Amino acid sequence: MNYIGVDLGTSSVKLLLMEHTGKILNSVSREYPIYFPKPAWSEQNPEDWYKETILGIKELIKDFDKTSIKGLSFGGQMHGLVILDEKDEVIRPAILWNDARTGKECDYLNNEIGKDKLSKYTANIAFAGFTAPKLLWLRNNEPENFNKIKKIMLPKDYLAYKLTGTFSTDVSDASGTLLFDVKNRTWSKEMLDICGIKLEQMPKIFESYEAIGCLKAELASELGLSSDLVVAAGAGDNAAAAIGTGTIGEGKCNISIGTSGTVFISSKSFKVDPNNALHSFDHADGAYHLMGCMLSAASCNMWWMDNVLNTKEYSKEQEDIDDSKLAKNHVYFLPYLMGERSPHNDPKARACFIGMTMDTTRADMTQAVLEGVAFGLRDSLEIARKEGLVIPETKLCGGGAKSELWCKILANVLNIRVAKLESEEGPSMGACILAMIACKEYESLEEAVSKIVKLSKTIEPDEDIAKAYELRYKEFKELYPALKDSFNSIGA
């Protein structure tokens, strides 16, 4: 049997058609716009997601036996606020995960409600991208829209609602709203009250691998698919990517270098970082995970290549950076193009180059961008290490994983083995696996990933390079604290 995985990303929706064996039959990607109506704002039109997803599914399956397609599920960009009125119409553009307008609301939640209470209610504190601060912003700034709200949902759950008519979400995505009791896997009454939200405005909670329903009959007819096609709840993009890389169980790690960058550490038991620098979320495997998130990762390289160097030849720009140059660059790059989440929780943080001299080259600047992202990811890994977690190896996914140079830099900056995968489909592959479990293709996620997820290459750190990067990382860590006051002034 075959399955469809839908990865609803920030810049595009990526669709995968996969056999139950893990063989990829087809993939399709369709882009949609992102809007920045004001500085630090980031929005999209949910109808664009749905339109491009439907067109993408048609393209994906046109040359295949449609009767063989048994299930569908999702991975999706997290934290976005999608609101519908009593007519099921979208009230306003979705406010995205990388939107930083909610500084005042985060200050209110963290300082007046208090971080201790937030952590008690949700296992997390307020970050600018989370959903609860967006609702408070809406209540404070667009009360007419706030009062129209009938349904509150996350981006992928809007697709699920349009496909099935089921008003749902899953535990991993709900964990990133700051409205969810992560430990007990239920909505937090206290947080709903703080935000002025009623329980009936919130979707029903499912485990990521549970079926939420089947395709609407009229949509099944339009697509040429069975109305018995099972739709599973799916997961937030990072949890879905973790499933797609086999990151389940105790102490497994996955690093994603996509638009954002994440360090994802799976756990069989509920854990909370005492300083809340790492997120404590429910995992799509029915257990838990800790996650550090930097807001700009591969997007830093894209910005540098597309906007500054004005080139699409990413590989060519890295050709002059060989092993002899690793850890010897005198330029640093702080990767805070959209502010930063883990570990600084500072929407006013800004990106910058530091250390340029008259002999600085184009390749030095390119290398600094790649290293800066690696250092930012290490910030999160260091917090996990301080909590006693031993992480000898990580899987790697996302667009940045396609760069051999970046993989080598990561292995040495983090000083751990980096395992690359035969298939780097990430969230869409994880979504396919979740659909398989919902359809009972496999008895468990453990069985599914053991048969489907395969490694292609492991990169070991070089002892001398890793030691040199240790010194450079210590210097990198001193830069943000030294510049924080300046960032606050610039941001104001």
**Among 333, 330, 318, 327, residue whose Cα is nearest residue 466:** 327
pLDDT tens profile 327-337: 999 999 999 99
The CATH number that applies at residue 113 is 3.30.420.40
Tokens of 436: 């398989």
Distance between CA 342 and CA 376 in Å, rounded? 9
AA identity, residue 303: W
Q: What's the whole-number average pLDDT of the chain?
A: 95
Distance between CA 430 and CA 235 in Å, rounded? 9
Range of the domain at 401: 247-425+462-491
Residue 23 forms part of a structural domain: yes
What is residue 326's predicted lDDT score, i.e. its pLDDT? 97
pLDDT (average), residues 71-97: 97
268, 135: one domain: no
Tokens of 431: 């979504």
224, 262: one domain: no
The DSSP string of 273-311 is: -TT--SEEEE-TTSSEEEEEEES-SHHHHHIIIIIII--
- On whether 279 is known to bind a ligand per the annotation, the reply is no
pLDDT tens profile 332-368: 999 999 899 889 988 889 999 999 999 999 999 999 9
Tokens of 140: 């404070």
**Among 165, 166, 197, residue whose Cα is nearest residue 180:** 197
472 phi and psi angles, rounded to 5 deg:
-70, -35
pLDDT at 52 over 80: yes
83, 193: one domain: yes
Better-predicted residue by pLDDT, 398 or 156: 156
CA 303, chain centre distance (Å): 19
What is residue 153's predicted lDDT score, i.e. its pLDDT? 98
- On whether 78 is known to bind a ligand per the annotation, the reply is yes
**Among 417, 398, 73, 400, residue whose Cα is nearest residue 242:** 398
Residue 182 forms part of a structural domain: yes
190, 260: one domain: no
What is residue 387's predicted lDDT score, i.e. its pLDDT? 80
Q: Number of C-alpha atoms within 13 angstroms, CB side, residue 235?
A: 33
pLDDT tens profile 240-268: 999 999 999 888 999 999 888 999 999 99
The answer to whether 56 and 32 are in contact (CB under 8 A) is: no
233, 254: one domain: no
pLDDT at 98 over 80: yes
200, 142: one domain: yes
Residue 435 forms part of a structural domain: no
% the chain with pLDDT above 70? 100
% the chain with pLDDT above 90? 87
- Name the residue with tokens 């070089």: 462
How far CA 28 is from CA of 16, 64, 233, 400, 428, in Å, comes to 7, 14, 21, 19, 11
**Number of domain units in the chain:** 2
Residue 127 forms part of a structural domain: yes
pLDDT tens profile 405-453: 999 999 999 999 999 988 878 899 999 999 999 999 999 999 999 999 9
What is residue 342's predicted lDDT score, i.e. its pLDDT? 87
- What sections of 342-462 are H helices per DSSP? 362-386, 404-414, 427-438, 445-452
What is residue 347's predicted lDDT score, i.e. its pLDDT? 86
Based on the residue annotation, tell me whether 228 is a catalytic residue of this protein. no
Distance between CA 61 and CA 430 in Å, rounded? 19
Which residue of the set 7, 181, 237, 379 is catalytic? 237
Tokens of 21: 């064996």
- Name the residue with tokens 């994440």: 262
49 phi and psi angles, rounded to 5 deg:
-60, -50
Distance between CA 11 and CA 235 in Å, rounded? 18
The DSSP code for 389 is: -
**Among 186, 184, 176, residue whose Cα is nearest residue 293:** 176
229, 351: one domain: no
204, 344: one domain: no
Residue 343 forms part of a structural domain: yes
Residue 266 forms part of a structural domain: yes
217, 259: one domain: no
Residue 451 forms part of a structural domain: no
The DSSP code for 263 is: E
255, 206: one domain: no
pLDDT at 400 over 80: yes
pLDDT (average), residues 13-21: 97
How far CA 457 is from CA of 241, 393, 395, 409, 426, in Å, comes to 18, 12, 10, 15, 16
pLDDT tens profile 27-38: 999 999 999 999
What is residue 39's predicted lDDT score, i.e. its pLDDT? 86
Q: How does residue 492 score in pLDDT terms, banded at 50, 70 and 90?
A: low
pLDDT tens profile 107-147: 999 999 999 999 999 999 999 889 999 999 999 999 999 99
233, 251: one domain: no
What is residue 397's predicted lDDT score, i.e. its pLDDT? 87
Look at the chain and count its residues: 492
76, 185: one domain: yes
How far CA 447 is from CA of 18, 49, 148, 269, 285, in Å, comes to 17, 32, 45, 20, 12
